[in-house]
Amino acid sequence: MQGFNRFSARLGGALFALAVTVSAAQAQPYSVLWWDSTPDYGGQAPNSLRQEMSDYLTTFNGGTLFQSTYVGSETPGTLATHLASNSYNVIVFDATSASAKFNAADLSAVQSFFQTRSNLLLDGTLYIRNIELNAATNFPGLNDALGIFTANEVKALATRGGGIMVGTDHTGYQVDANQIVGAVVPGAAFSGFTVPSTDGEFTGTELLTTAGLVAPADVFDNWSNVPSEAIAPTGNFTDFLGRPVTLYSQVNVADQPGGGPRFPYISTTFAPGGGPVVINDPEPPTTNTPEPATLALLGTGLLGLVGLRRRRRI
């Protein structure tokens, strides 16, 4: 009897701590810096469209999940100055340029951030997500897929303790993105120019389900209408501190018409979970992972059951 009571008390305490911790985590939005070093390219990628993605994060889920700060700057040294007086959970580098946009001080600041938030997400499709080109590039996209997909990427980093997301486009416009990648994981770099086909798959479901559910076909609608995805690096590397880093592919797609080698558009330092899911699946993947609010309710419910069991045994 006493043993059971002690076990019940420990279980109840653990569940209560879980509920409190999860609730507290929900109460404070993840702080995000959206750093836009992408030129406007004659009006194709104006700052207003790049900022729209940052603003979408802030308003996502009623403003409870993210607080995103947008900064548009192509001036070297500005990033270092900004990070010296501001703190964030996640930095998004919206970096698609044919020239260097960062100096040594900027890259040193990124290295300092990476030391404590060493999760990395490399997205070779970020540029085309919101540009003046065609209907498929109107953010937040078909069924809000591009917006939710972006939120999934950022939340995946944030829930793992914070990290860096670097996005770009095809060969010739990867210089500033590769400055950031090379500063933290030397030897890793975006490359290539791909023309996506329906011959492909998401290797996991995390980027499709973390903050909201996304149908792969709705994301692919954007990719297939702007065939200029970059190849993201994958494999084993060593970061600037000498620590081993593995970059895992989150999606593999062959060039049109398909049947050839598949290329990763997105890679992460965390392994894919779940999946695989075909690239043109019209339905979002199913997920059994409970949301934080559900976990809190579950903990509260179990606490009540423990208390009821204790009262019945006394």
| pLDDT tens-digit map of 7-41 | 343 333 343 333 334 433 446 999 999 999 999 99
Question: Is there a contact between 250 and 268 (Cβ–Cβ < 8 Å)?
Answer: yes
Instruction: State how far the Cα of 226 lies from the Cα of 191, in Å rounded to an integer.
Output: 17
What does the block give as tokens for 144? 């809000």
Asked if the structure places residue 4 within a domain, the reply is no
CB atoms < 10 A from the CB of 125, how many?
25
pLDDT over threshold 80, residue 304: no
Asked if the structure places residue 118 within a domain, the reply is yes
Indicate the range of 23-37, 127-141, 203-217, 262-276 predicted with least confidence: 23-37
- pLDDT value of residue 20: 34
Asked if the structure places residue 202 within a domain, the reply is yes
Asked if the structure places residue 24 within a domain, the reply is no
Domains in the chain, number: 1
Asked if the structure places residue 22 within a domain, the reply is no
Task: Please report, as a single letter, which amino acid is at residue 162.
Answer: G
Tens of pLDDT along 256-283? 999 999 999 999 999 999 989 999 999 9
Q: How confident is the model at residue 227 (pLDDT cuts 50, 70, 90)?
A: confident
pLDDT over threshold 80, residue 178: yes
Interval 40-69 mean pLDDT: 98
Asked if the structure places residue 26 within a domain, the reply is no
Higher pLDDT, 288 or 192: 192
Instruction: Print the domain residue range for 223.
Output: 31-297
Q: What is each CA distance from 164 to 88, 92, 267, 297, in whole angstroms?
A: 10, 6, 12, 31
Angle between helices 175-184 and 104-116 (to 10 degrees): 50
Provide CB contacts within 8 A for 44, sequence distance 6+.
131, 132, 133
Instruction: State how far the Cα of 35 lies from the Cα of 212, in Å rounded to an integer.
Output: 23
Instruction: State how far the Cα of 40 lies from the Cα of 43, in Å rounded to an integer.
Output: 5
- pLDDT value of residue 275: 84
- pLDDT value of residue 140: 98
- pLDDT value of residue 292: 46
Asked if the structure places residue 305 within a domain, the reply is no
Question: Is there a contact between 222 and 97 (Cβ–Cβ < 8 Å)?
Answer: no
Give phi and psi for 140, each to the nearest 5: -90, 15
- pLDDT value of residue 27: 66
CB atoms < 10 A from the CB of 10, how many?
11
- pLDDT value of residue 86: 98
Instruction: State how far the Cα of 206 lies from the Cα of 285, in Å rounded to an integer.
Output: 10
Q: How confident is the model at residue 286 (pLDDT cuts 50, 70, 90)?
A: confident
Asked if the structure places residue 124 within a domain, the reply is yes
